[in-house]
Structure 1
Amino acid sequence: MRTDVCRNASATEQASAVMSYPQPASIRRTSPGNCSSSSTTITESPTRSCWVGASIGAVGFAGNLLRAAGASLERSKRKLVLDEQKRAATAPRGEPMTDTRPSSSKPTIVLVHGAFAESSSWSGVISQLVAEGFPVMALANPLRGVPSDCDYLRATLKGLDGDIILVGHSYGGMVISGGGAGNANVKALVFIGVFAPEAGETAGQLANKFPGSTLGETLAPVTLADGEVDLYISQDRYHQQFAADSPVEVASVMAATQRPILESAFGQGSTEPAWKSVPSWFLFGSLDLNIPAEAHRFMAERAGSRRTIELPNGSHTVGIPEAARVVELIREAADVTAGTH
């Protein structure tokens, strides 16, 4: 097992662009001579009449030009439509006119978020993967319990062709461990600050296996109509507990958009995990307050991690400010497992 200890970036820079549209210039009509602003009086004279007649003729000629130009434009537009229809008719059946699909030589990257987060938490990772030509899917993890969430992932994977790399964060590790088992297309597992359970092991057991987790005291329960309890992290505790290495502005949005998990999910055991038969990579932060760093080290070693990156001062969501390091591991996993069948 290879373990790297790396330094965090100092901060996540954010930029915002403001676009303003120019206001239309004011147009003023000035009357000739000593005319009032409200009306214009023209005294006819032979000379002036000729001038007026010529002006009217010029206006008529300009109007004819405009009408001719409009007709020409309509003919051009009709020709473009006909050309496009002809091109579509002669295109090979079943093929898109513009093929924007990523290269079939690359595996599909399926990203699975955990509790107190949602799919957009992978945005920084997704943009880099797409730029490199990887097909990507960020799963909307239901967070309704280990068995049902694993079933949801299994059903989703059935609709994908070719090789797959599963990437999980936090509780998402429970889901990719169980839901990825037994699928021959799953070639690698990348664990980012996760639970990587043994069969029968629960997230609650792993979180408390070593001292250091402070998650319990930050939780805000909501009792549902059926008696189940949803858990959120209190918004005023979210930044420190969950995302201390992200800017407060980013953490505030995450806190407001977090998705809850059923309390019972933390007590549900895993099935036989995929990491026993599928190669794995691990990344976590040394200051994770949800899952202690010692637990991460234990799980990575137990799973036989091909490479483990521990980022000093990293939080539970270290993969957000350190998205490039996450992509680095995914890329390595794709390269190592390329062509394995």
Structure 2
Amino acid sequence: MKLSRAVAAVVTAVSLAVLGATTGAATTATPVVTHSAKPTIVLVHGASEDGSTWNGVTARLQKAGYTVVVPAPPLRGVASDSAYVASLLKTITGPKVLVGHSYGGMIISEVAAELPDVTALVYAAALIPQPGESLQSLVSLYPGSLFGAAARTVDYPGGTDVYVDPGQFRDVFADDRSPSDAALTAAAQRPIAASATTEAATRAAPAGIPKYVLVATEDHAIPPAAERFMARRANAWTVEVRSSHDLPTSHPDAVAGVIEKAAARP
């Protein structure tokens, strides 16, 4: 089986790292080189979900010829999650369009402030913070969020995780989907650390990076009024979609279309 250049580069980097660990020699990761005129699209999910949130969007973008990366942020805190994603993206050369859903918007904002090759930001029913703002403070800007009432905490040695009550998951996140489909997502949800919900952003997305916002008008996690407020404040190009919070899953065509618009901007 032939390996692509990108995969071969990763295998080489891993082999060198293992060799260095064996011999005691210091090594550094080899950047993954992309060979496409199109920017790499980076899709960052939020709390109570995983990378499958982006499956429909990913399939459409790949069919259109884009390289797509879907990181798995640990959901432990704004600073650590942003550092995780930034570290991954530093191994990929070339321009990038960052796309965030929900809490993922906080991550891409911080990453964009660090990486020089981000050409556009897309927020799909996502948070767009300013320094000092947290998930909790932004969701509470306007009435209408059901997230707090549906949250359930689980203590573990060293911390506390927050889940959405499976019985309320569809009402909060996935009202566009069938009960059985929403139940599958609820069962596989990845929790966010309770401390992450109150951790404040330290950096805003740079003003010079073009921003695109999809407002979910039927969102019960982030109030639509809050999404509109953040979009106006960020001076973002904005479109409204009649959707619940799981906008990338329930309306992948709309989300992929805006991403392609952002990617095509000179």
TM-score calculated relative to the size of structure 2: 0.86
Alpha-carbon offset, residue 142 of structure 1: 0.7
For 1:244 and 1:102, the matched residues in 2 are separated by: 38
Within the candidate set 187, 204, 209, 1:273 is matched to 204
Alignment correspondent of 2:120? 188
CA contact (8 A) 2:247 2:255 kept: no
CA contact (8 A) 1:284 1:309 kept: yes
Q: Decide whether aligned partners of structure 1 residues 107 and 95 sit closer, same or farther in structure 2, where only a CA change above 3 A counts.
A: closer
Counterpart of 1:309, as a letter, is: V
Alignment correspondent of 1:296? 227
Within the candidate set 82, 88, 91, 1:156 is matched to 88
Task: Output aligned runs, 1:237-256, within 5 Å.
Answer: 237-256=168-187
Alignment correspondent of 2:238? 308
Alpha-carbon RMSD? 2.0
SS in 1 for 2:84: helix
For 1:315 and 1:156, the matched residues in 2 are separated by: 30
Give the number of aligned pairs. 240
CA contact (8 A) 1:189 1:275 kept: no
Counterpart of 2:81, as a letter, is: D
> Which protein is bigger by CA-based radius of gyration?
1
1:220 equivalent in alignment to 2:152 = yes
For 1:318 and 1:335, the matched residues in 2 are separated by: 22
Counterpart of 1:151, as a letter, is: A
Within the candidate set 121, 131, 134, 2:53 is matched to 121
SS in 2 for 1:296: helix
Alignment correspondent of 1:325? 254
Alpha-carbon offset, residue 265 of structure 1: 0.6
TM-score calculated relative to the size of structure 1: 0.67
For 1:278 and 1:246, the matched residues in 2 are separated by: 33
Give per-residue Cα distances to partners, 1:204-226, cap 9 Å, x unaligned.
Answer: 11100111111111111100111
Alpha-carbon offset, residue 96 of structure 1: 9.5
Alpha-carbon offset, residue 95 of structure 1: 10
CA contact (8 A) 2:6 2:34 kept: no
1:283 equivalent in alignment to 2:214 = yes
Q: Decide whether aligned partners of structure 1 residues 96 and 255 sit closer, same or farther in structure 2, where only a CA change above 3 A counts.
A: closer
Q: Decide whether aligned partners of structure 1 residues 321 and 102 sit closer, same or farther in structure 2, where only a CA change above 3 A counts.
A: farther
SS in 2 for 1:180: helix
Alignment correspondent of 2:39? 107
Task: Output aligned runs, 1:250-265, within 5 Å.
Answer: 250-265=181-196
CA contact (8 A) 1:246 1:320 kept: no
For 2:127 and 2:152, the matched residues in 1 are separated by: 21
For 1:120 and 1:96, the matched residues in 2 are separated by: 22
Alignment correspondent of 1:233? 164
Counterpart of 1:217, as a letter, is: A
Q: Decide whether aligned partners of structure 1 residues 281 and 198 sit closer, same or farther in structure 2, where only a CA change above 3 A counts.
A: same
Moved over 3 A (4+): 94-97
Counterpart of 2:103, as a letter, is: Y
SS in 1 for 2:247: coil
Alpha-carbon offset, residue 103 of structure 1: 5.8
Give per-residue Cα distances to partners, 1:225-277, cap 9 Å, x unaligned.
Answer: 11x21000011111111100122222111101110000111111112212423
Identity within the alignment, %: 38
Unaligned runs of 5+ in 1: 1-83, 89-93
For 1:279 and 1:183, the matched residues in 2 are separated by: 15
Alignment correspondent of 1:28? none
Q: Which moved more, 1:273-282 or 1:262-271?
A: 273-282
For 2:63 and 2:78, the matched residues in 1 are separated by: 33
Unaligned runs of 5+ in 2: 9-32
CA contact (8 A) 2:216 2:224 kept: yes
